[in-house]
Amino acid sequence: MLTDYMNQYYIPQAERADSVVANNYALARRIASWKKHLRREWENVNVISETQTAASYDLSTGNEFQAEVVLNIGDLRPEDIGVETIFASTDRHGALHIADVREYTPVEFADGVCKYKVSILPERTGSYQVATRVFAKNSLLPHRQDFELVRWL
């Protein structure tokens, strides 16, 4: 059990800490600069259009859930923005539980406008509540919760 904690948590965190402080905190400065830029530009991120499969439809192979979001991202890069759809189911007590999360792929980008698309065939049948969100995205962040910018559509 201690080996599991070492391999899954302590060693990766120690390596992360070393990388953040290396070269006079170069990585920390880079992340801070990126966050400052995103916070400044986030108000300019606007939804131009959002389309998705009708609320009630039959799932089958070849009949996937299709969705598209077109965003004005201004001076940001497509890789700075993530878009994802969340599928949640309701238990017998009425509580929501996330069943699946699927991220969109940027497919077109020109003049500050980016189109993101996703095609999903859920692995489990059932009734889902579906929501889409836009969030700030950076591979340098160890966790999505490390940055607060998110917008629900």
**pLDDT tens track for 110-148:** 999 999 999 887 777 777 888 999 999 999 998 888 899
Helix count (H) and strand count (E) of the chain? 2, 8
Q: pLDDT tens-digit profile of 80-95?
A: 999 999 988 889 998 9
Structural domains of the chain sorted by starting position, each given as residue range(s) with its CATH number in brackets: 44-152 (2.60.40)
Task: Give dist(CA 97, CA 5) in Å, integer.
Answer: 27
pLDDT at 55 over 80: no
**Structure tokens given for 152:** 């629900």
Task: Give dist(CA 101, CA 120) in Å, integer.
Answer: 10
Show the CA angle centred on residue 136, arms to residues 54 and 109, nearest 5°. 70
Task: Give dist(CA 130, CA 109) in Å, integer.
Answer: 26
Residue 28 confidence (pLDDT):
93
